[in-house]
Amino acid sequence: MGAFEQFLAAIHKHPRWSWAALAVYAAAVTFPHENVQYVVNLIAIRFTHKRLYQGSAAIALFEVALLTLILVRRLVRQPERGKLAAFWILTIGLIWGTWRAFTANNVELVHYPQYFPEGIALVALTLSPAESLAWITIFGGLDECFQYWHLMGDKLVPFDFNDVYMDLLGGAAGVLFAMAFLRCKPRPPGSWSTGKMFFRPGIVAILGIAFTGLALWCVGLMQLYQDPSRHYWFALSRMKTTAYWVVVGANGPHRYHTLSPIEGPILILATIALYGMLDRRLEISVLQ
């Protein structure tokens, strides 16, 4: 058994320490957001935004090529290589589509490698792709909460579901990469239970958040868009775009779409359900 397989087995064997380390990692990549933005701005000033965006794209392409090479070499020894390869291609396709539709500039590509390690750790902990992505969504959502309510204050910005979706896909890539180093075998007939899946902690947490938000919206305590004429606890967006496609010079050169407070949750939950097909078809365990 190789070093990476031993690492995944250690994560699964020591869940308390692993969850603690994961929480520390999540905090470490969330709270220094302003400092990172400052450094990125300095790089842009020195080398121009154009070169910054070109460099970000080059790094992203190199990462995809390197990880794909490692994955392909590993899948040769994986009995379920066909399913994992198909979902890896699907993930790269979703990342490309997200870059085309929801990304303002190439610096935002950092979301994918940022959440890639979390996907690796979470699938080793839970042995469930769907539950792993549910936790990824929660961590990504907390990251955006920190930015929306603390860093942005009262600025006219939306809760950025675009970023949460990028986080989700970065985590999905990490999940699939780790699965290539885990034991994956077809589920025996009748061993899958949809009902049990809904009782897994991560799924309970993400659905609980979704239903709580829906309930708060129904009783008027949460608004989708800021409305000074009404009394409520909070709104998921302080702005409403007037066009489907926008170009915001301050954000970057791309034409992109901002996911609304309705589109974002639906797309995120649908994507988690899509990767839940792996839970239904594969039985995952760590190598011993």
What are the φ/ψ torsions at residue 234 (nearest 5 degrees)?
Answer: -160, 165
Distance CA 97, CA 130 (A): 21
Residues contacting 197, CB < 8 A, separation 6+: 128, 130, 203, 276, 279
What are 130's two structure tokens?
């769907």
183: β partners: 285
* Distances, alpha carbon 222 to alpha carbons 90, 154, 206, 216, in Å: 35, 16, 18, 5
Query: 159: domain range?
Result: 3-185+193-285
Q: How far apart, in Å, are the Cα atoms of 59 and each of 26, 37, 220, 263?
A: 22, 18, 45, 30
Mean pLDDT by 10 residues, the chain (288 residues): 92 97 95 89 92 96 97 93 97 98 96 97 97 98 94 88 98 98 91 85 97 96 92 91 84 91 97 96 89
Query: How many helices and strands in the chain, by DSSP H and E?
Result: 11, 4
Q: Report pLDDT for 252.
A: 84
Choose among 192, 215, 133, 209: nearest CA to 166.
133
Q: By three-state DSSP, how is residue 7 classified?
A: helix
Q: In the prediction, which pLDDT does 194 show?
A: 80
Do 132 and 123 contact (CB within 8 A), yes or no?
Answer: yes
Q: How many residues does the chain have?
A: 288
**DSSP label of 190:** T
67, 157, 174, 230, 250 from 121: Cα distances, Å = 16, 32, 8, 43, 35
Please tell me the predicted confidence (pLDDT) of residue 280.
Answer: 93
**Angle, vertex CA 127, rays to CA 124 and CA 132, nearest 5:** 80
249-271 pLDDT per residue, tens: 778 888 999 999 999 999 999 99
Cα–Cα distance between 84 and 15 in angstroms, integer? 25
**Residue 74 to residue 136: CA distance in whole angstroms:** 24
Q: Which residues pair with 104 in a beta bridge?
A: none
- Comparing C-alpha atoms, which of 84, 279, 83 is closest to residue 194? 279
Residue 90 is predicted with a pLDDT of: 98
Per-residue model confidence (pLDDT) at position 196:
85
Number of domains in the chain: 1
What pLDDT, in 10s, does the model give residues 66-83?
999 999 999 998 999 999
Max CA separation in the chain (angstroms): 63
CA-CA distance, 273 to 267, in Å (whole number)? Answer: 10
Strand 234-235 relative to strand 222-223: parallel, antiparallel, unpaired?
Answer: parallel
